[in-house]
Structure 1
Amino acid sequence: MVVIGSGPIGAVAARRIAETGRAVRILESGPAISDPPGSHVRNQDRFQRDPDSYLAGISSDFTYFDETAPPRELPGACVTAAVGGQGVLWTNNCPRPAVSERGELLSPAEWDRNLGAAERYLGVTNHTFAGSVRQQRILDRLAPTLAAAGREIREQPMAGRLVDRATIHYVATRDILAGTGIPIETADVQRVIVEQGRAAGVRLADGSTVQASAVVVAAGAFDTPILLHRSGIRHQALGRYLTYHPVLYSQLVLDAQLCGDTDDLPPRLWIPPAPDAPWNTMVLRDTNPVPPSPPDIDLPSNQLVEMQSFCPVDNHPDNTMTIADDGAVRFDVPLREADNGRMAAVLADQHELAGALGRFRAGVEPQWMTLGFAHVMGTCRMGASDDGTCVTDEFGQIWGTENLYLATVGVIPNALAVNPTLTGAALAIRSADRLLAG
């Protein structure tokens, strides 16, 4: 069996297959950008010592479709080709989707079983930073007010662990595949070969072919539909129903009574989406990509936290990623009235939370990241019937093709407020189980 793409979701699918004793190969077009290959870039000493340099340090690893595009054409949309894919660059936050976000394709028991398996494969822990003084004080400060509004705040699950008080190990593809013996092979896949309704293998850029008893495409929310289109697999829903997260970012200077000592563990807290606040917010000390302004340039890290809010965009059928025959890609994802309303509410919410915790750091007041950069989903969504609104069945199998599956956040059929990697991994596990049972 062949898995195309070596990111965390492809790695989870490959591991699930390999655990049954089946032979599986991962094909990856990109080079190694971490040492050892497939390990998280952020585990490097320089980023452990200076986490605020991280996003600038990895900027060259993103290839943008069109950074000059207007907002509705997603100037932040980009891809990464590397050994380990996005798994060597991701933020590692792995909250479970709220029950209201899960849809009806899986039963509650199936969700719990597959999410639990995904958490094990990704090394997700819920209490990594339980010893953080700031974390507990922030939680105590915000919990009563949020509870009165029908919301909560809790520790953010993440794929990682503490090595010591100054070192975090971020889980990546290398960790997911540890002990499996699954090879990641350099191969630029140009198309999936489909013969008589079955995937027979893949054709590479050098003209050679790799035969396979089944193919899993795990090339991300962008490259997966591009590869399908190039392979002549052009279902009506391909590239439609696109959704993503506009991200509102800010940094706070905490009230003095909330700060811990200079060696305090960084906090990592999560305010899950709620019916009256359907967005996802994290309060954490992670990395700050925005230069501060005077008089707040030099402040100790223990006085600072960031806020990141993910605001879901409705996955309207006219939110499109259009792929031309020459490979050119164009996005058209306008923000509609409901989307703008949520974004305005998110901005007001960050101001209210900041007032309870301290003040915004000069120069790092709330600002929206470039649209399209974060968490694109729905580009090859799954569904219950081949009715033109989905690309795969509810198990991630391409309609009309017996042994061709997708493992990507692109299959998530509904707008999701939380970070999507865990959800994508859970669905990939379910897909792998169906493939193995076939």
Structure 2
Amino acid sequence: MSRYPDSVDVAIVGSGPAGATYARILTEEAPGVTVAMFEVGPTVSDPPGAHVRNIDDAEARAEAQRRSEGPGAGAATVSSPGAVKSGERRARAGTYLLPDGFQADGEDGMPVAAFSSNVGGMAAHWTGACPRPLGSERIPFLPDLDELLDEGDRLLGVTTDAFDAAPFTALVRERLAAAVDEGRVDETRVQRMPLAVHRRDDGRLVWSGSDVVLGDVTRGNPSFSLFDESLVMRVLIEDGRAVGVAVRDLRSGETHEVRARRVVVAADALRTPQVLWASGVRPAALGRMLNDQTQVVYGARLRDVEPPAEDQLPASGALSEQSGVSWVPFTDALPFHGQVMQLDASPVPLADDDPVVPGSIVGLGLFCAKDLQWDDRVEFSDTERDSYGMPAMRLHYTLTDRDRAVLDRAQEEIVAMARAVGEPIGDRPFTMPLGASLHYQGTTRMGEADDGLSVCSPDSEVWGVRGLSVAGNGLIPTATACNPTLTSVALAVRGARRLARELAYVENRHYDVGTKQKESRRTP
């Protein structure tokens, strides 16, 4: 027997923060609506979708990361011993690389384009940074963007005070501010990084994953079901409307159809357009305007500080709270955004010190906004298949002259920042291979009108296909430098509210019609 229902009200493809947002909002605003969520990867944490950093045992944490790496499990990662070296093609722990098709002849490509396959998606492995878009990063046709971002903060559990007690955090911000704050307005000055992290009553930090977005209210909803190791191969389309999904049970190998009144595809910015392509949904803008953020990193040893005493260090590789995480916001004049964090909070090793004294080295990272180009895209094959049996993808991606100029400026700025903070490590900063940010955007971009330049409406419904919505970083239509998760959750809030209104209206209409029919039958 199939472990899947025959039909539901809403089928959600993908269990990352955007998909989890749909499940949460529907639970809160349309109680009784049945929701089934499908995830290609396994459950690797408890509760499902929790951040692996919350796993105390180092071996158990490493095993959760390995199980998230899908067909790439076992390959060397940037968490392997030693600092990252130029030219190396490694994925972060918990992710796996696109094996081929990542670079076309004569193009820059994305050599380290990567995925994760697990309940919670990338949010089981991310840094938790949730800065707000500023200036030209903002989506101009969404008048309610700030309220949506507020709701995103609530769902992700965003705080700004998690590291206030860390002994070096104020010092790092003070030194950074002296180097970069001149001429900036309040909202773009150096400040605490908004983080999806909270502190428990016992004082321990807990990093948010999709589990926090879902919350107890969704997990306790009898109308919500989560199915892991379930590959959605295509959306079922009939008469221009989404009516369900075809899903392969990776445990049994069998394929089943689950009917649905609404379908939300929230895989990621590369696999969401892949599912649409496989479903025959192929608008002109699908996969176009692929947008990554070039990432420059550098390390610095803090000056004039004492390392923590041995008895102050946490066990099992947990985070030593010394320097916290600081934010250098994006501006249109300097189109990059900065994260400054202690080395053991960074996903990318920056020094070969053995051992690295926790809190004594900070990592600096600048993410550069990218020129949007129609020909930067992900393409899919009608004949070749990937390791999951889905249409194989190929990336086309090229930096413009302006992109290279912004990158050069970011390298200059990060050197100045490193010198302000402490003693730079190495002769020059390191530019990560393209794709390393994991902040892929634009491939299912949102638009104000169905003009052929976007895939979905401001409410996230795919143009020309009723009942089909998309979610995730791929919707973001602007060139951004800030981490995109908060924005994509905000957009998912907007789309989920629309679904909740529609489904509630249909339910109420059915109830009203049924009541009137009963009354008419009672009338002589």
Q: TM-score of the superposition, structure 1-length normalised?
A: 0.92
Q: CA deviation at 1:167?
A: 4.2
Query: Residues 164 and 247 from structure 1, CA distance in 2 versus in 1: closer, same or farther, beyond 3 angstroms?
Result: farther
Instruction: Say if 1:134 and 1:260, in contact at 8 Å, map to a contact too.
Output: no
Unpaired runs of at least 5, structure 1: none
Q: Tell me how far apart the structure 2 counterparts of residues 290 and 437 of structure 1 sit (CA, whole Å).
A: 46
Q: Tell me how far apart the structure 2 counterparts of residues 185 and 68 of structure 1 sit (CA, whole Å).
A: 30
Q: Tell me how far apart the structure 2 counterparts of residues 60 and 312 of structure 1 sit (CA, whole Å).
A: 25
Structure 1 residue 316 corresponds to structure 2 residue 373: yes
Q: Tell me how far apart the structure 2 counterparts of residues 249 and 85 of structure 1 sit (CA, whole Å).
A: 24
Aligned partner of 1:26: which letter? M
Query: Residues 49 and 392 from structure 1, CA distance in 2 versus in 1: closer, same or farther, beyond 3 angstroms?
Result: closer
Q: Output aligned runs, 1:380-399, within 5 Å.
A: 380-399=444-463
Which residue among 164, 170, 173 is the counterpart of 2:207? 170
Query: Residues 46 and 280 from structure 1, CA distance in 2 versus in 1: closer, same or farther, beyond 3 angstroms?
Result: farther
Q: Output aligned runs, 1:135-150, within 5 Å.
A: 135-150=169-184
Alignment partner, residue 351 of structure 2: 292
Alignment partner, residue 161 of structure 1: 198
Query: Residues 353 and 60 from structure 1, CA distance in 2 versus in 1: closer, same or farther, beyond 3 angstroms?
Result: closer
Alignment partner, residue 121 of structure 1: 155
Mean alpha-carbon deviation: is it higher for 327-336 or for 137-146? 137-146
Q: CA deviation at 1:392?
A: 0.6
Q: Tell me how far apart the structure 2 counterparts of residues 198 and 50 of structure 1 sit (CA, whole Å).
A: 42
Q: Tell me how far apart the structure 2 counterparts of residues 42 and 431 of structure 1 sit (CA, whole Å).
A: 30
Which residue among 361, 379, 397 is the counterpart of 2:443? 379
Query: Residues 165 and 312 from structure 1, CA distance in 2 versus in 1: closer, same or farther, beyond 3 angstroms?
Result: farther
Alignment partner, residue 8 of structure 1: 17
Mean alpha-carbon deviation: is it higher for 137-146 or for 391-400? 137-146
Instruction: Say if 1:67 and 1:76, in contact at 8 Å, map to a contact too.
Output: no
Which residue among 300, 303, 321 is the counterpart of 1:255? 303
Which residue among 54, 63, 73 is the counterpart of 2:109? 73
After superposition, the C-alpha distances for 1:249-297 in whole angstroms (9 at most, x for unaligned) are 222101115x57444533210000113211010111113633634xx44
Instruction: Say if 1:321 and 1:331, in contact at 8 Å, map to a contact too.
Output: yes
Query: Residues 426 and 69 from structure 1, CA distance in 2 versus in 1: closer, same or farther, beyond 3 angstroms?
Result: closer
Q: CA deviation at 1:166?
A: 8.2
Which residue among 411, 417, 424 is the counterpart of 1:360? 424
Aligned partner of 1:189: which letter? V
Mean alpha-carbon deviation: is it higher for 380-389 or for 137-146? 137-146
Structure 1 residue 332 corresponds to structure 2 residue 396: yes
Q: Tell me how far apart the structure 1 counterparts of residues 102 and 246 of structure 2 sit (CA, whole Å).
A: 32
Aligned partner of 2:292: which letter? Y
Aligned partner of 1:225: which letter? P
Query: Residues 357 and 198 from structure 1, CA distance in 2 versus in 1: closer, same or farther, beyond 3 angstroms?
Result: same
Instruction: Say if 2:109 and 2:396, in contact at 8 Å, map to a contact too.
Output: yes
Unpaired runs of at least 5, structure 2: 1-9, 66-76, 81-90, 249-253, 313-320, 384-390, 503-524
SS in structure 1 of the partner of residue 170 of structure 2: helix
Q: CA deviation at 1:35?
A: 3.9
Alignment partner, residue 136 of structure 2: 100
After superposition, the C-alpha distances for 1:124-173 in whole angstroms (9 at most, x for unaligned) are 00111111221111222232442214251000011112348984211111
Instruction: Say if 1:242 and 1:319, in contact at 8 Å, map to a contact too.
Output: yes
Structure 1 residue 412 corresponds to structure 2 residue 492: no
Alignment partner, residue 317 of structure 2: none
Query: Residues 47 and 29 from structure 1, CA distance in 2 versus in 1: closer, same or farther, beyond 3 angstroms?
Result: same
SS in structure 2 of the partner of residue 350 of structure 1: helix
Instruction: Say if 1:221 and 1:410, in contact at 8 Å, map to a contact too.
Output: yes
Instruction: Say if 2:235 and 2:276, in contact at 8 Å, map to a contact too.
Output: yes
Q: CA deviation at 1:60?
A: 5.9
Alignment partner, residue 281 of structure 1: 338
Query: Residues 214 and 10 from structure 1, CA distance in 2 versus in 1: closer, same or farther, beyond 3 angstroms?
Result: same
Q: Tell me how far apart the structure 2 counterparts of residues 156 and 83 of structure 1 sit (CA, whole Å).
A: 26
After superposition, the C-alpha distances for 1:37-85 in whole angstroms (9 at most, x for unaligned) are 321111122459999x995278464232236954722111121111111
Instruction: Say if 2:368 and 2:410, in contact at 8 Å, map to a contact too.
Output: yes
Mean alpha-carbon deviation: is it higher for 56-65 or for 180-189? 56-65
Aligned partner of 2:166: which letter? S
Instruction: Say if 1:66 and 1:75, in contact at 8 Å, map to a contact too.
Output: no
Aligned partner of 1:434: which letter? R
Q: Tell me how far apart the structure 2 counterparts of residues 49 and 130 of structure 1 sit (CA, whole Å).
A: 29
SS in structure 2 of the partner of residue 310 of structure 1: strand
Q: CA deviation at 1:424?
A: 0.2
Aligned partner of 2:111: which letter? P
SS in structure 2 of the partner of residue 338 of structure 1: helix
Q: Tell me how far apart the structure 2 counterparts of residues 436 and 346 of structure 1 sit (CA, whole Å).
A: 43
Alignment partner, residue 222 of structure 1: 270
Aligned partner of 1:185: which letter? F
Which residue among 183, 206, 226 is the counterpart of 2:225? 183
SS in structure 2 of the partner of residue 202 of structure 1: strand
Name the count of aligned residue pairs.
431
Aligned partner of 1:214: which letter? R
Alignment partner, residue 112 of structure 1: 146
Q: Tell me how far apart the structure 1 counterparts of residues 126 and 58 of structure 2 sit (CA, whole Å).
A: 14
Q: Tell me how far apart the structure 2 counterparts of residues 50 and 266 of structure 1 sit (CA, whole Å).
A: 23
Instruction: Say if 2:350 and 2:363, in contact at 8 Å, map to a contact too.
Output: no
Instruction: Say if 2:18 and 2:266, in contact at 8 Å, map to a contact too.
Output: yes
Aligned partner of 1:18: which letter? T
Q: CA deviation at 1:8?
A: 1.1
Mean alpha-carbon deviation: is it higher for 127-136 or for 140-149? 140-149
Q: CA deviation at 1:89?
A: 1.3
Instruction: Say if 1:48 and 1:168, in contact at 8 Å, map to a contact too.
Output: no
After superposition, the C-alpha distances for 1:404-432 in whole angstroms (9 at most, x for unaligned) are 11111101001111000000000000011
Query: Residues 80 and 49 from structure 1, CA distance in 2 versus in 1: closer, same or farther, beyond 3 angstroms?
Result: closer
Name the larger-Rg structure.
Answer: 2
Instruction: Say if 1:268 and 1:283, in contact at 8 Å, map to a contact too.
Output: yes
Q: Tell me how far apart the structure 1 counterparts of residues 398 and 327 of structure 2 sit (CA, whole Å).
A: 28
Aligned partner of 2:274: which letter? I
Mean alpha-carbon deviation: is it higher for 330-339 or for 82-91? 82-91
- The percent of aligned pairs where both chains have the same amino acid is 32
Alignment partner, residue 30 of structure 1: 41
Instruction: Say if 2:24 and 2:215, in contact at 8 Å, map to a contact too.
Output: no
Q: Tell me how far apart the structure 2 counterparts of residues 49 and 308 of structure 1 sit (CA, whole Å).
A: 29
Query: Residues 67 and 204 from structure 1, CA distance in 2 versus in 1: closer, same or farther, beyond 3 angstroms?
Result: closer
Alignment partner, residue 28 of structure 2: 19
Q: CA deviation at 1:175?
A: 2.2
